[in-house]
Amino acid sequence: MSIKIKRALRVTYPEHDSFFAQLKTIPKLTPRSLPLPEAVVRVVTGQMLSGAAANTIYKRIATATREQGLVGSWQLDHDSLRNCGLSDSKARTICAFGSKIGNDASALEHWRTMAPDALTQEIKSNKGMGDWTAAIISLGYIGHEDVFPWGDGSLQRAVAVLQRAGAGRSRRYKFDPDRARPYRSYLALYLWQALDSGILD
């Protein structure tokens, strides 16, 4: 199935066939077993940060959670989150979210059965969480196959590079991620892979 999806993207964007050919085939998306309240903390932590910086801060958060004997990191107080390196706004977002979840790690399991649009609206109802947060949770933790995080700066950069490459062949060319439906999540993953591997820069 994963090879079929990659082939479908190559057919959808024939002008970039050689680009997709260089990339490792991405496995079919599946839901992750991490409790979804914990996924929210990980995603909020990563907002507007590099992967390395986000991982460093989240490791501190995980350590603080263990040391305090909590069910999950969404239960950490504001000072603890700030001491782990989170900004004030992110700490407030997680505290407000945690106050709604309490100690119930399964409180968000209904998210796994929601359609992407409905899920996005529910996630955005939380203060400090927007379209990017919703898209990353939907794609990375729920496993929805047709989500494109439009607000992601890395993806915007990748799209711009492919747009310039296509425009070199035709002035009327437009690289449109929506052409990848119903596999936009895979397109996003391939673009991130291309950036991480240096195929796009």
For the stretch 109-124, pLDDT in tens is 999 999 999 999 999 9
For the record, the structure tokens of 127 come out as 């203060």
The rounded distance, in Å, linking the Cα atoms of 18 and 176 is 18
Angle at 100 between CA 98 and CA 105, to 5 degrees: 65
For the stretch 50-109, pLDDT in tens is 889 999 999 999 999 999 999 999 999 999 999 999 999 999 999 999 999 999 999 999
pLDDT at 168 over 80: no
Model confidence, pTM? 0.92
Stretch 184-192: mean pLDDT, rounded? 98
Stretch 144-173: mean pLDDT, rounded? 90
* Nearest by Cα to 148 from 192, 110, 200, 118: 192
pLDDT at 169 over 80: no
